[in-house]
Amino acid sequence: MSLEESDVSVHAAKVRSLIDALNGAVFGQEALVELVVTGLLARGHLLLEGLPGLGKTELVKALAKTLELETKRIQFTPDLLPGDITGNPVLQETERGREFVFQKGPLFAPLVLADEINRASPKTQSALLEAMQEQRVTVLGTTHPLPSPFFVLATQNPIELEGTYPLPEAQLDRFLFKLEVHRNSVATLERIVLNREIGVEPMVEKVLNREEFAGISAAVRRIYLPEVVANYIARLVDATHPGASRAAASIQFGASPRAALALASASKARALMQGRINTSFEDVTAVAKPVLVHRIVLRYEARIEGRSASEVVSDLLAEVPSHSIDLPPTLKDA
């Protein structure tokens, strides 16, 4: 069933209220906040990277309050074990005698804050793979479903910092967005000094309940994706592979089909936030960097030259035209 413009306008107004509330809790990160909300509406997991103290954790905590979602926080450390995240069977006395009873770990919550995820070992990081992709965990051969909705919002420090482990490519591919958290401007720092105190969390009011958020997220899936936009997404992802474009000369491994699905979902979410019933080329280009930067692996030579994944994606966007010359004229005019 198609969406009415009036319905989309109502949803967009509610989302704007959510964004305004988050901007009131975290100063000077308006672009970041908008992308975080876009990712959640697309039902994706998010990875926030930045130096300590820039407000990554505060943003996640404020988000949980505005959506009134139960939140569990996992502080990743080198000694953290997979069972500390998923849970473990514990020997207990029951009506049938002593037997192992599964005790749920902190992963069993609608919103999971994986704080400093790259300080844990790769073995522990991999415990999130099944949960993020299939919304379940398997312990000793028994599968346990996770709550719905289920979001992982992870923070990580730049890999140059001491005591960090790079996330494996399979883990990175599970995140819809990778978002850079940049340092604050002088004006923002002044605002923080005047309005915040160490150890005192900002007051954040509930904006949407769980049902309202679920309704908006469901509406995102009904946003229309034109064939020409789907074709652009396919060509953009294909261009990340070596030999498919000039920009891909810097890429060793390109993006997977999951990247194309992520671009489609995020584009739909952005269209709804803009109050439109269909996606556009602009929606795709607006979310292309956070979708693709962590899904491409640069060649060694490119890294030596100082090239970044963000620069390569910019080159891809400049090189790949929105309209394909192979499309029928009727579709080109759509």
Question: What does the pLDDT look like over 284-332, one tens digit per residue?
Answer: 999 999 999 999 999 999 999 989 999 999 999 999 998 765 554 444 4
- On whether residue 68 sits in a domain, the answer given is no
Q: Is the pLDDT of residue 39 over 70?
A: yes
**pLDDT value of position 159:** 62
Number of domains in the chain: 1
Q: Which residues touch 306 (CB under 8 Å, ≥6 apart)?
A: none
- On whether residue 198 sits in a domain, the answer given is no
- On whether residue 200 sits in a domain, the answer given is no
**pLDDT value of position 2:** 58
Q: Is the pLDDT of residue 334 over 50?
A: no
| Mean pLDDT on 206-222 | 91
Residue carrying the six token digits 């294909």: 238
| Mean pLDDT on 163-191 | 85
Q: What range defines the domain where residue 319 resides?
A: 223-334
- On whether residue 276 sits in a domain, the answer given is yes
Q: Is the pLDDT of residue 95 over 80?
A: no
The model's pTM: 0.87
**pLDDT value of position 333:** 44
Out of 6-20, 114-128, 162-176, 317-331, least confident range? 317-331
Residue carrying the six token digits 């309940």: 209
Whole-number Cα distances in Å, 334 to 8, 38, 156, 221, 331? 22, 25, 42, 21, 5
Three-class secondary structure of residue 267 per DSSP: helix
239: CATH: 1.10.8.80
Q: Is the pLDDT of residue 36 over 70?
A: yes
| Mean pLDDT on 179-190 | 86
- Helices 56-67, 5-25: inter-axial angle, 10-degree rounding: 130
Residues in the chain: 334
Question: Chain-wide mean pLDDT for the chain?
Answer: 87
In the chain, the amino acid numbered 316 is L
pLDDT per position as a tens digit, 220-277: 999 999 999 999 999 999 999 998 889 999 999 999 999 999 999 999 999 999 999 9
pLDDT confidence bin for 141, thresholds 50/70/90:
confident
pLDDT confidence bin for 201, thresholds 50/70/90:
confident
**pLDDT value of position 162:** 63
- 204/24 Cα distance (integer angstroms): 8
> Exposed, middle or buried, 310 (CB in 10 Å: 0-12/13-18/19+)?
middle
**pLDDT value of position 163:** 67
Three-class secondary structure of residue 178 per DSSP: strand
Q: How many CA atoms lie within 13 A of 168 on its CB side?
A: 12
- On whether residue 59 sits in a domain, the answer given is no
